[in-house]
Structure 1
Amino acid sequence: MNSIMLSADQFGIVYNVLSFGLVCMLATTIYTLVSQSRVLPKYRTALVMSSMVTFIAAYHYFRIFNSFEDSYVDGAVKVGTGAGDFNEGYRYVDWILTVPLLLVEVVAVLSLAKAAASSLINRLVPASAAMIALGYPGEISTDNNTKVLWGVLSTIPFLYILYVLFVELSKSLDRQPAGVAATIGRLRLLLIATWGVYPISYLLPILGQSATDPGAFVNRQIGYTIADVLAKCVFGLTILKIARMKSVAEGMKEDH
């Protein structure tokens, strides 16, 4: 267990950042749920998955928020896995559930042939779960060599996901309506750019910032939260945009 001294301002920053993450997840969940009627039925599964992602994230942000508040005693945050500690494990439980769903959303909104969709899902889901599971031992370790080892192992399925998204998935975009392939391309870049924040936050202790350094702790919470909002809320809203584009291309009237 680490004890991290935080000033009142640092406590306020983390408190407000976690609150921001929670409300973004809740708002996106509601918006994607009420937008079901704006797309054709065959694309609603993708929106349901998007709502599931942000709902799961909202629940875990609620737990993270309470964990942070409860762990702050006498100007210090206790970080660990015991009762009353600030537990980063909530983030990893969230990610191991939501990251596979994020990838399935992309496949679902494209409405590919069953064989092609199954092939992509069967490769992306196990790889994403392995990526998160392999990162957790390094996250909770205080030894830099252990962090590097598990970080490298976690990178292997990450690189495989990149291959599937940018090589294999590209083969399925040729028959998409005008504008959809380009939007999917931007969606993949958004996913990779936001995922890039996680390893940076993960590596802060290795890059010279002590595990008990208040600045490193604050920066990690800011980085993780901003990345989560972009990778889940903005990602989900982009999935909705793609579903709308495809629905309109297939004859559904646009809203005015």
Structure 2
Amino acid sequence: IVTLIATYHYFRIFNSWVAAFNVGLGVNGAYEVTVSGTPFNDAYRYVDWLLTVPLLLVELILVMKLPQKETVCLAWTLGIASAVMVALGYPGEIQDDLSVRWFWWACAMVPFVYVVGTLVVGLGAATAKQPEGVVDLVSA
């Protein structure tokens, strides 16, 4: 599912780029990129992340072989936190004012730190449950 969603959105991103810019040889023989007048839609990237990042986190949680109650709880909390993270990043993407961009970056970092912190603790516990040969492969 994740691959299909990403494929669709990246084709849309490519088509948006092709429509937004003209590429051709300039007067000096070098390639030049000019604006066509059609706006480039970079929202596709964020819509893609809004769908795929939570799905990937849920997939990761499912393979950790945690108890069912913990799996459901983590899937919901990390899925929502990652969606909030992506949603908070988009307003910063579309801002021209650098201070406003940094504000939205800081806002998006709150759920990001929560997700990473939860995964570091959870992955450590799940890794410890694996056979010795597997633990050696994924441990530092």
> Is this a same-fold pair by TM over 0.5?
yes
Query: Would the alpha carbon gap of residues 185 and 128 (structure 1) be closer, same or farther in structure 2, given more than 3 Å must change?
Result: farther
The amino acid of 2:35's aligned partner reads: V
Aligned residue number for residue 118 of structure 1? 72
Question: Relative contact order (C-alpha < 8 Å, sep 6+): which is higher?
Answer: 1
> How do 1:103-114 and structure 2 match up within 5 A?
103-114=57-68
Corresponding residue SS for 1:111: coil
Whole-Å separation in 1 of the counterparts to 2:138 and 2:76 = 20
> How do 1:75-90 and structure 2 match up within 5 A?
75-77=33-35, 84-90=38-44
Whole-Å separation in 2 of the counterparts to 1:98 and 1:154 = 17
Larger radius of gyration: 2
What TM-score do the two structures reach when normalised by structure 2?
A: 0.83
CA positional deviation for 1:181: 4.1
Query: Would the alpha carbon gap of residues 71 and 107 (structure 1) be closer, same or farther in structure 2, given more than 3 Å must change?
Result: same
- The CA RMSD over aligned residues, in Å, is 2.1
8 Å CA contact 2:85–2:111 kept in 1: the answer is yes
Aligned residue number for residue 21 of structure 2? 72
Residues 1:53 and 2:11 aligned together: no
CA positional deviation for 1:119: 2.3
> How many pairs align?
131
Q: Greater CA deviation, 169-178 or 130-139?
A: 169-178
8 Å CA contact 1:135–1:154 kept in 2: the answer is yes
What TM-score do the two structures reach when normalised by structure 1?
A: 0.47
CA positional deviation for 1:73: 3.6
Could you list the per-position Cα deviations for residues 166-205 of structure 1 after superposition, in whole angstroms to 9, with x for gaps in the alignment? Answer: 013322332223344455568xxxxxxxxxxxxxxxxxxx
- Kindly, what percent of the aligned residue pairs are identical? 45
